Structure 1
Amino acid sequence: MLHATPTAADKRAAFRTALSSGKLQRFPGAFNPLTAKLIERHGFDGVYISGAVLSAELGLPDIGLTTATEVAGRSQQIARVTALPALVDADTGFGEPMNAARTVQLLEDAGVAGMHLEDQVNPKRCGHLDGKDVVDRATAVRRIKAAVQARRDPNFVIAARTDAKAVHGIEETIDRAKEFADAGADLLFPEAMTDAADFARLRAAVDIPILANMTEFGKSELLDTGTLESAGVNLVIYPVTLLRLALHAAEEGLRTISGQGTQSSLLDRMQHRRDLYELLDYSAYSVFDQNVFNFRG
């Protein structure tokens, strides 16, 4: 009701097991706790918490302007309501390796199942924009080592994201992936891969699980789940999909209200009140309140 039944430790253990199951894990991006509940209801395997989405919610571009506190706070709100494991975008760790270490512990306390750190220069840019740059390989490895050493729950997943493909090419991406795995990363996130062949090359090079980012309007071909599984991918995220759908619908609705002076023609495109209440488990709260606190004599 107020919280999901599985503990954070339960969800982390489940996430670990799922990554090694051979079944592709599907993590749509939740832009608030309510969408996390919707993702769970539709049978997905986990929830992704996107830095780009969190920035956009705050009216900011995705260039490293959010803080560790803001990310941890939103992550806690989302992880609280869903039985699914949540994976969080921690950008570059919000500073030097020591900051990355602190970020791990903040996000552990927030109840999420894992996080990813990237090798971009800080302040970073959206991974599908031109003009980004990456730190040298030694610095990137230090970030991962710091994160791995800082975690207290061994099941908390540390994912290493590399943006080297767009900057230096696939060979540097593979070299970094190998070093990140040696540094203790549990999951590899190669950003802005072009096609399935890129993922297949990485699969042949490293033994740890691989994540695919299927974001719209970017540099990557939008591959279906069957193709991703065949390429050896273990986890796919859809980071901004739900936010884009929601904002598009909101814009259409505002145009209609502005032009027609009423929302009556939009009713068949809205979630009904009863469906929202069902998603929120409204009835359970009413029963709880009646059983615990009742003024009637």
Structure 2
Amino acid sequence: MPPAKCLRMRLSGTSLLHIMAAHSPLSAILAEEAGFDGLWASGFELSALYGLADMSLISMTQHLDTLWAIAGRTTLPIIADIDTGYGNAINIIHAIGEYERAGASAVVIEDKTFPKVTSLAADGRQELLRIEEFQGKIEAAVTTRQDPDFLVIARTEALIAGLGEAEALQRAHAYVDAGADMILIHSKKRDPSEIESFSRAWTGPVPLVIVPNAYPDLDAERVKALGNVCMMIYGNYGIRAAATAMQETFRRIIADGGVQNVHKDILPVEEIFRLQKMREVKAAEARFLR
């Protein structure tokens, strides 16, 4: 079954889907082995991988190149974080075709102005589009997609911008009217109160997506109790875990004056060979290199 169709079918069930951010094919392989239901082709993680701020500095081409590479190494559905869609509704028309061809099963488009500033930045510039303009972007995405199972997820940043729940609900309903398949609601409060309140107030016909980066206490059991959230995206944990491990390892090597202590605490080379499918490569060599 194609990944997009599989994702849409699973969303019609009662289970809560767990989606892990990926910034590389290797991180995608590890997420699939861990048992996640899908991957988040994260703009934040890719920006961090390049050592850049998450402020629309990564190009669509850079993101697509990574998406192609990830799609070639996983069977999981991929949800592409395309920020504001790289421009207006005309840019969206172009982007949807490119992301479908690259292997995405869904895109998330947010209602900020371009260029955006990452949602969790302290005192970041959080400017939202007019509702009607963002409706046009959602309509353009829905009209352009070739695969009817390809999901268009509308993300409202009304809570991030401090505009309140009523504004967030108004925008979410308007985006569903424009054809959005799901609504991603986001908050940067350190507790999940805004998200839980919005979820209880949501009466729309489509399910919700949340990204519990700022409010990690909101676990799966609490989310299931809300009743209308069907997907949790772990939006920056892959790159944070990788950076944590590299920081610790690199500092220990300098402090120890070598790798004599650290080598036993990291994965052996043989495990990397396994992830690279070296056994299959060696088998192919034996069969075809004559």
Using structure 1 for the length normalisation, give the TM-score.
0.91
- Distance in 1, Cα, partners of 2:65 & 2:182: 24
Alignment identity in percent? 29
Structure 2 residue aligned with 1:264, among 260, 264, 272? 260
Query: Where do 5+ consecutive residues of structure 2 fail to align?
Result: none
Matched, 1:16 2:8: yes
Report if aligned partners of 1:88, 1:115 keep a CA contact under 8 Å in 2.
yes
Task: Tell me, yes or no, if structure 1 residue 26 matches structure 2 residue 15.
Answer: no
- 2:159 aligned residue: 165
What's the CA shift for 1:67? 1.4
Cα deviation digits, residues 202-251 of structure 1 (max 9, x gap): 35321212111022xx3x45411111111131101111112111111111
Tell me, in whole angstroms, the C-alpha distance in 2 between the residues paired with 1:202 and 1:253.
41
Aligned positions of 1:1-297 closer than 5 A: 10-129=2-121, 130=123, 131-167=125-161, 168-192=163-187, 194=189, 195=192, 198-199=195-196, 201-202=198-199, 204-215=202-213, 218=214, 220-232=215-227, 233-291=229-287, 293-295=288-290
Cα drift, residue 68 of structure 1? 1.3
Q: CA deviation at 1:182?
A: 1.3
Q: What amino acid maps onto 1:264 in structure 2? A: Q
Q: 1:67 to 1:188 in 2, by over 3 A?
A: same
Please tell me the root mean square deviation across aligned C-alpha atoms, in Å: 1.6
Q: Which residue of 2 aligns with 1:3?
A: none
Instruction: Please state whether the residue corresponding to 1:205 is helix, strand or coil.
Output: coil
Consecutive unaligned residues in structure 1, runs of 5 or more: 1-5
How many residues align? The count is: 283
Residue by residue, what CA displacement relative to the aligned partner does 1:128-147 show, whole Å, maximum 9, x if unpaired?
23331111111111111111
Q: Secondary structure at the match of 2:19?
A: strand
Contact kept, 8 Å, 2:154 with 2:183, in 1: the verdict is yes
Q: Which moved more, 1:166-175 or 1:104-113?
A: 166-175
